[in-house]
Amino acid sequence: MLSDYQNKQLNVEYPFDIILISDNTENDFVKEETLINENTVPRSTLKYCVYQNGTSEMVDYLYQNLRLFSDKDSDPAMAEGRKAAAYYDYDVYMGITDYNSLRKMLGLTPVALQDNQYLIHMPNRVYQEIKDRSEKPQNSLHIELDFVGFQTEGFAQNGHNGTDFLLVVPDKKLAGMKKYFSLMAVMASGNVPGNLSESLYESAGKIRGYDELADYIKIGSEELFLMPATIQVKSREVLEIKFLMSTLSFPLFYIGLVFLCVAFTVLSVQQLSDSNKYKFRYQILSKLGMGKKKIRNVVAKQLFIYYLCPVILSVIISAVFILYAGRQFVIYTGIHTEWILYFGISFVSFLGIYVLYFAVTYFQFNKNIEP
């Protein structure tokens, strides 16, 4: 699962090579741009603003409908704290021109909006959770525009281009709104050095990793692996997350492999220890006319029965856990994967080791019973 997350979801969570956000709506990012140009070669750069109109209908809708906040009524004070930590105070809007410019930077097809239309961009994880609700989120908005649909591509929506959602409207609709945040997104030609992140934080007078939780940045309903970051350099963020996932996955893999090898070793040693007892019996069968091929078939059936019992038990026990965990992982991360594949891959890996131990035991057993 963690490998699947690395291969599929990190590019979704971090679509831009560099993205910065500032609550100073007049910030021109000149210092940051100069620093970026000194350390890498930008392929495309966009400075833009997101907007708010003093309403929070979409924030309220998601807070009322996402499962992460399902226990919000248990403690009203704590519930308000969770909401404030997850979402900005107001709904986040973006003009269609800036939106399509960002899509072009990411290699996505531009979308068209008429003057009386708007769309909602949100992570696939959030969309999958609300898409089948009888109450449509667009019905809770009051911006006098017609809803035309959802977009769910990766779009830096853990605090930058909105949190869990972004309302995209015609440019002229922004005239009646206030600038909310200033942002700069960069796509680079070639590699971006990971230490650029610290340099950008130093330029902003901050220390990376220490100022984020007390800052204004929000991450919505995302719970896995991500931390708030006003300055996001993809190469550094991805490296750290991969390191974190490796520290989780390697010990789990190692422990599982050790238990598996121990179990099969005990089973093999037990069968090979009993081979001397079976040697006399198979010699009698040989004297009665049973050929070597048939004897080996009988040995294979005998060993298969002994090996089959623990396999069936382990499959039943692990299937319950792996299928549940895999389904929840897909739901909470939004990965485009059939969750049953996680069990299938584990099962195939398990059988590979099983066949290896079975083959070694089978050949050694036959060798032990030979006259």
The fraction of the chain above a pLDDT of 70, given in percent, is 91
Answer yes or no: is pLDDT of 133 > 80: no
Looking at 158-172, 178-192, 345-359, which range is the least confident one?
A: 345-359
pLDDT digit string, tens, across residues 302-329 = 888 888 788 888 888 888 888 888 887 7
With helix as H, strand as E and coil as C, how does the chain read?
CHHHHHHHHHHHHCCCCEEEEECCCCCCCHHHHHHHHHHCEEEEEEEEEEEECCCCHHHHHHHHHCHHHCCCCCCHHHHHHHHHHHCCCCCCEEEHHHHHHHHHHCCCCCCCCCCCEEEEECCHHHHHHHCCCCCCHHHHCCCCCEEEEEECCCCCCECCCCECCEEEECHHHHHHCEEEEEEEEEEEECCCCCCHHHHHHHHCCCCCCCCCCCCCCCCCCCCCCCCCCCEEEHHHHHHHHHHHHHHHHHHHHHHHHHHHHHHHHHHHHHHHHCHHHHHHHHHHHHHCCCCHHHHHHHHHHHHHHHHHHHHHHHHHHHHHHHHHHHHHHHHHHCCCCCCHHHHHHHHHHHHHHHHHHHHHHHHHHHHHHCC
pTM over 0.75: yes
- Residue from 213, 201, 163 nearest 59 by CA: 163
User: Which range is most confident: 133-147, 209-223, 259-273, 279-293?
Assistant: 259-273
Confidence at 355, pLDDT banded by 50, 70, 90: confident
The residue written with tokens 């083959």 in the block is 359
Q: Report pLDDT for 119.
A: 93
Looking at 103-112, 170-179, 185-194, 304-313, which range is the least confident one?
A: 304-313
Looking at 153-162, 170-179, 275-284, 305-314, which range is the least confident one?
A: 275-284
pLDDT digit string, tens, across residues 100-121 = 999 999 999 999 999 999 999 9
Beta bridge partners of 269: none
Answer yes or no: is pLDDT of 157 > 70: yes
Confidence at 134, pLDDT banded by 50, 70, 90: very low
Looking at 70-84, 151-165, 172-186, which range is the least confident one?
A: 70-84
Average pLDDT on 285-292 reads 77
User: What does the block give as tokens for 200?
Assistant: 């950008």
User: Which range is most confident: 157-161, 281-285, 346-350?
Assistant: 157-161
Confidence at 213, pLDDT banded by 50, 70, 90: low
Answer yes or no: is pLDDT of 138 > 50: yes
Looking at 92-96, 213-217, 355-359, which range is the least confident one?
A: 213-217
The fraction of the chain above a pLDDT of 90, given in percent, is 33
Looking at 37-51, 168-182, 184-198, 335-349, which range is the least confident one?
A: 335-349
Q: Report pLDDT for 139.
A: 55
The pairing of strands 117-121 and 178-189 is unpaired
Beta bridge partners of 187: 44
**Other C-beta atoms lying within 10 Å of the C-beta of residue 356:** 12
Answer yes or no: is pLDDT of 2 > 70: yes
User: What does the block give as tokens for 317?
Assistant: 């026990």
Round the average pLDDT of the chain to a whole number and report it: 85
Q: Report pLDDT for 330.
A: 77
